[in-house]
Amino acid sequence: MLDIKFVRENPEVVKENIRKKFQDEKLPLVDEVIELDQQNRAAQQEADELRSSRNKLSKQIGALMGQGKKEEAQAVKAQVTANADRLQELEKLNGELKEKIQKIMYVIPQIMDETVPIGKDDSENVELERFGEPVVPDYEIPYHTDIMESFEGIDLDAARRVAGNGFYYLLGDIARLHSAVISYARDFMIDRGFTYAIPPFMIHGNVVEGVMSFPEMDAMMYKIEGEDLYLIGTSEHSMIGRFIDQIIPEEKLPQTLTSYSPCFRKEKGAHGVEERGVYRIHQFEKQEMIVVCKPEDSKAWYEKLWQNTVDLFRSLDIPVRTLECCSGDLADLKCKSCDVEAWSPRQKKYFEVGSCSNLGDAQARRLRIRIKGEKGNYLAHTLNNTVVAPPRMLIAFLENNLQADGTVAIPEVLRPYMGGKEKLVPKK
């Protein structure tokens, strides 16, 4: 969310940013919110003047009564009553105008970083760099659920009976592999100086509004019926929410956290939930990284965060690439974002396994996350990035480590989490 003062003083900058995001339908909102802001400030000024005059008039009444001028005192009392009625009207008007302004400000997108490429949608995202050599073996790579079924490691039919499409049972070696990847990712991030955290898996509505845009909220979040609680779609939501209304001393920054959680997503309006695969599902687990820092440090942290994910995937023998999100594919709260995509030997292309985002002060402004500095308080910057999110990450792992005989090689770094196993042997 932008500062209303910035919008007031830079309307053309805000409008140009909207045009670059191909959201021309939002252009009238800029003039509308500036007009509402003008009305609000005028009402606020009048209210302040009435409050200031209240004490003066009260003293005047006392002086007139002391002088025996009762009629004049009554006239001033009538003025005080009228002022009080008007002040009540203005306070109500202020509340209504502030609500309208905030509603619009939640819709106007954050100013993008100047390096973001301009494009209409994800088809115009820009490849940045590749890490590792993509390999297509001379033997067939089956569909990922077929690989899992060869180890008797997945049961989608039972999950469908119990919960519907978009859910799964993982079993045996595949379930163990899932847990091993999460545990390895946790320790990988701890070794890089991040503090491990397990957050609440449900959050209040005001936190949801603070961490994400309304279209994302509607498409993703499950609400608990009869409660002001939502299931988190990623631990970023509750981890950033941890700092709501907090003033963090500069010496306590940066806050670098890596968090584990289950994630729940409706996937409304997405590409659909597969009946057979586990690429797009309603429930999964994830290791995340979160940074809260000073504004001048956020660009450097952004580079560090996506590099962490690249390094982790390469340590598991999985080729990856980074893809810069163009303006039309950039969520409204984000200044800059890139996806990390893993190589799929079966599809002979890359697919998304994580996303790194710099949100500038957007979340901090909504949640009132401030930094205590020598010259006063100011808004923090927040960033987030996926470490790993199985079972999608398992697709990349199984495809890239599958051998010709149907076994799956376990990279050395993962063996301690798999009981020392060097490979998985199929059961059928």
From 27-31, 237-241, 257-261, 424-428, the region with the lowest mean pLDDT: 424-428
Where is 383: in which H helix or E strand?
strand 381-388
| DSSP β-ladder status, 349-358 and 381-388 | antiparallel
**Domains of the chain: which residue ranges?**
4-105, 122-424
- Return the pLDDT at 273: 61
3-state secondary structure of 289: strand
* 217 pLDDT tier (thresholds 50, 70, 90): confident
Round to whole Å and give the CA distance between 43 and 100.
14
pLDDT tens-digit series, residues 233-244: 999 999 999 999
3-state secondary structure of 150: helix
Round to whole Å and give the CA distance between 94 and 106.
18
* 163 pLDDT tier (thresholds 50, 70, 90): very high
The structure's pTM equals 0.90
- Return the pLDDT at 215: 74
Task: Report the chain's C-alpha Rg in angstroms.
Answer: 28
- Return the pLDDT at 63: 65
Where is 320: in which H helix or E strand?
strand 320-324
Write the CATH number of the domain with boundaries 4-105: 1.10.287.40
> What kind of fold does domain 122-424 have according to CATH?
BirA Bifunctional Protein; domain 2 (3.30.930)
Round to whole Å and give the CA distance between 412 and 418.
10
* 19 pLDDT tier (thresholds 50, 70, 90): very high
pLDDT tens-digit series, residues 79-112: 777 788 888 899 999 999 999 999 999 999 999 9
pLDDT tens-digit series, residues 286-300: 999 999 999 999 999
| Mean pLDDT, residues 194-201 taken together | 98
pLDDT tens-digit series, residues 334-376: 999 999 999 999 999 999 999 999 999 999 999 999 999 999 9
Q: CA angle, 165 as apex, 161 and 168 as ends, to 5°?
A: 75
* 305 pLDDT tier (thresholds 50, 70, 90): very high
